Chains A and B, each alone.
Chain A
Amino acid sequence: MRGPDLRRLYDEHAQALYAFLLNLTRDEADTHDLLQDIFVKLARDPDLLNHARDERAFLIRLAHNAAIDLMRRRGTRDKTREQFTVEGGSPFAPSCDPDEQAFRTALAEALAGLPAAQRAVVHLKLWEGLTFEEIAGLLDIPSNTAASRYRYGLDKLRERLRPIYEEIK
């Protein structure tokens, strides 16, 4: 893969990878490092994408594996850090509307409270628009598992966000 290809890949997929990684890691510095690692890997191994049927799915899979590795390395040592970086590591754009901003902050906090496995499925379903079959293939899990993780995750979000959602609806 030559330079322009790498740039094309960045322009087409970096935004999705960034949002996904930020939602998983909750840390902008970690997200930067992981995103950079992905592109370094692509640059070092130009044939990596040759057999990928879907570039976006392949890159999200790389991002997911890298994020899971990072979280395992972090372990319990930095669990408290996750709580403190919810504000700074929110995957949502800031809003001028105070109600909307409050909802986004609450949503970011509620997402941070989900297990990483549920959070990944919820993100891919809601903000990447993938089907359960696609998510299952991407995360190497059965599609029933993907669907149940989504349901559990969504139920938890609904419970936590019910008051603020009813208020601003």
Chain B
Amino acid sequence: MSTDDFEQKLQRQPLRQVPTDWREEILTTAECAAATRRAPPATRPSWLSTLSHQLSTILWPHPKAWAGLAAVWLLILAVDFSARDQSPVVAEKSAPPSLEVLVELKQQQRLLAELVGSYEAPDADRRKIFSPKPRSERVEILTT
């Protein structure tokens, strides 16, 4: 079949006629809509509805995808907040032990070290080793 014949055959196919009863219906609806449009609006749209309209325009192609993304973010935020709530409890639990407990622990540690034989005096008990430093010749010159 040649392209020209085929195209002409298609072109010759008559298109369906628009239903006659649509004319009055559509024109009446359009004229009524125009009349209501010309009437002054009773109330101005609130900023909330404007925002909602703008958002729906932006999100329109994939509203479900955006809603899913928002839900994921909310979940992440919820998990984050719940983790933060637990932190003071942890801090309370790990509060420093009392002085008596510390002294007792230190004694036990010392006793254990003596038993093992590797006890070393704590830093506070150690004598400071004196290490003479070279005298500065400049100081000598200054003093003489």
Contacts and interface: CB of A to CB of B under 8 A. Distances in A.
Interface of A: 3, 6-7, 10, 14-15, 18-19, 22, 32, 35-36, 39-40, 42-44, 46, 72, 90-94, 103-104, 107, 126-127, 154, 157-158, 161-162, 165-166, 169
A90 B10 contact: no
B14 A92 contact: yes
A158 B30 contact: no
- Category for how many chain B residues contact A: 20 to 34
Given A72-B61, A157-B10, A166-B1, A35 B22 contact: yes
Contact of A92 (B16, B26, B61): B16
Contact of A22 (B16, B33, B37): B16
Interface string B10-44: 11011111100011011101110110010000000
Interface in B82-116: none
Mostly, the B contact residues are helix
Contact of B13 (A14, A18, A22, A92): A92
Given A44-B37, A107-B10, A14 B18 contact: yes
